[in-house]
Structure 1
Amino acid sequence: MSALWPKAVLFDLDGTLIDSAPDIHAATNTLLAREGLGPLSLDVVKSMIGEGTRRLVERAFAACGRTLDPAELSARYEAMVPLYAANLTGLTTLMPGVAEAMQALQGEGTAMALVTNKPDFAIAEILQHFGLARHFPVIVGGDAGVPHKPAPDMLFLALERLGGVSAADAVFVGDSPADARSAQAAGMKLVLIEGGYSREPLASLGADAVLPDMRDLRGAIERLQPGADR
């Protein structure tokens, strides 16, 4: 790839780099069971991932016929945190091709950042467990204090922390409608990875490239380079 483009590649976490749904599913059903609700299937919980843990908790209770007011939602969210924190990596696995893609980009000197709605308490342990922490000098998580994806603010913050990289010089890699809309609002090239947690067909989300997994990520990014023959 050109030494000038992209200057940065930003990544989502859940459904893009890791398959965390089994651990999230287990914690969600434990939370629901405490109130005599559930269980929900793995596929149903997968469909709730992507806009942060608080939103997932709200959706899970709604799926069981329980609407939570703001105070109730805050209490259930606070109860969910230790349940998930106790088992962040027990059932979670890397998505196919992630390790190789990270190594290839790092070997070329491409700046990378992680941008995830996941709460900060979970991020460091997961990255350390899978050997990914060294790839991400910049991490913008769910507690960064800016609006979550699908707003573009988290992407802009990551680009700023990478030294003021322009959105036109960056690529975002994700798996969901929230990722797609965030990248598009930011004016970034977008690569979507199949096998994640999208509630909509990826082909309908207007990505610049849709890949079956991360193994062709480098090639896809190269084909998105301005002036490249796609």
Structure 2
Amino acid sequence: MSDLTLVFDLDGTLVDTAPDLVASTNHVLDHLGLPRVDEISLRPYVGHGAKHMIEKAIGPRGEALSEAQHADLLALYLDYYGAHIADASRPFEGIVPLLEKFKTRGVKLAVCTNKMEGMSRLLLDALDLSRYFDAVAGRDTLSASKPHPDALLGTISLVGGDKTRAIMIGDSGVDVATAKAAGVPVIGVSFGYTDTPVSAYEPDVVIDHYRELEPAIARLVPAA
């Protein structure tokens, strides 16, 4: 198993970040004097980035805002989020013991996310998860971001891994598309933030809980 590389998406895969992301969006809405949004209605947009979440929450009112005003709102959001990045965000149930086990067995572990690297590291540090990962590749780390295959292939290279002994784990169509483009097996988690069931994107395996991860890995890389 020591030659295996596991690459995880972050939001909606490793960590349930929706509560703090939605709180940050509501901070922007408070600033604008607009009604707050609930977590359920905004969760499907989490994987599309902060700018998209803000636009969805503001709705038609946003059409009247200038590009500079949108940039100011994004900055307001990011400042608040950075200060409250792990108020309510928590690792998904069952993942931490697995990371411990994988690390002990010498598995190369990495994060490949479209969150900015700085914010990703801040979150992982706050949740005491950074120590498990040999690399954290954010939107701004490599020359490409998901769904470009080089985002995943570059992440695998950062840890000295081999794509033929690597698996991607993610919650969205973007993660599945990235892995397929890179020629890497992909496990979809059903508990993430996609508005379309991850099974619709046809990952190699779908799991509903991290207790199912090790059997899924064994199916994809039998000699692991």
| TM-score after normalising by structure 2 | 0.90
* 1:42 CA displacement: 0.5
C-alpha distance 80-175 of structure 1, shift in aligned 2 (>3 A): same
Residue type matched to 2:56 in 1? Answer: R
* 1:69 CA displacement: 5.3
Summarize deviations over 1:118-162 as a string: whole Å, max 9, x none: 123322232123221111121101222534322223212212212
Residue 8 (structure 1) aligns with: 5
Residue 82 (structure 1) aligns with: 79
In 2, Cα distance between equivalents of 1:133 and 1:113? 10
Is 1:193 matched up with 2:189?
A: yes
SS in 1 for 2:12: coil
Residue type matched to 2:137 in 1? Answer: V
Residue 100 (structure 1) aligns with: 97
Would you say the 8 A contact 1:150–1:178 is kept in 2?
A: yes
Summarize deviations over 1:190-226 as a string: whole Å, max 9, x none: 0111211011112211111111111221221011126
C-alpha distance 107-47 of structure 1, shift in aligned 2 (>3 A): same
In 2, Cα distance between equivalents of 1:218 and 1:85? 33
Match among 171, 196, 201 for residue 167 of structure 2: 171
Would you say the 8 A contact 1:23–1:92 is kept in 2?
A: yes
Please identify runs of 4+ aligned residues in structure 1 that moved more than 6 A.
Answer: none
SS in 1 for 2:109: strand
| TM-score after normalising by structure 1 | 0.88
Is 1:51 matched up with 2:65?
A: no
- 1:129-140 equivalences under 5 Å are 129-140=126-137
Q: How many residues align?
A: 223
Question: Which has more helix, going by share of residues?
Answer: 2
Is 1:223 matched up with 2:215?
A: no
Would you say the 8 A contact 1:37–1:64 is kept in 2?
A: no
CA RMSD of aligned residues (A): 2.1
In 1, Cα distance between equivalents of 2:60 and 2:40? 15
* Unmatched 5+ stretches in structure 1: none
Residue 179 (structure 2) aligns with: 183
In 2, Cα distance between equivalents of 1:11 and 1:120? 14
In 2, Cα distance between equivalents of 1:146 and 1:38? 38
* Unmatched 5+ stretches in structure 2: none
SS in 2 for 1:91: coil
Would you say the 8 A contact 1:104–1:218 is kept in 2?
A: no
C-alpha distance 72-178 of structure 1, shift in aligned 2 (>3 A): farther
In 2, Cα distance between equivalents of 1:124 and 1:181? 24
In 2, Cα distance between equivalents of 1:52 and 1:36? 22
Would you say the 8 A contact 2:121–2:136 is kept in 1?
A: no
* 1:169 CA displacement: 2.2
SS in 2 for 1:218: helix
In 2, Cα distance between equivalents of 1:64 and 1:27? 20
SS in 1 for 2:46: coil
* 1:227 CA displacement: 8.0
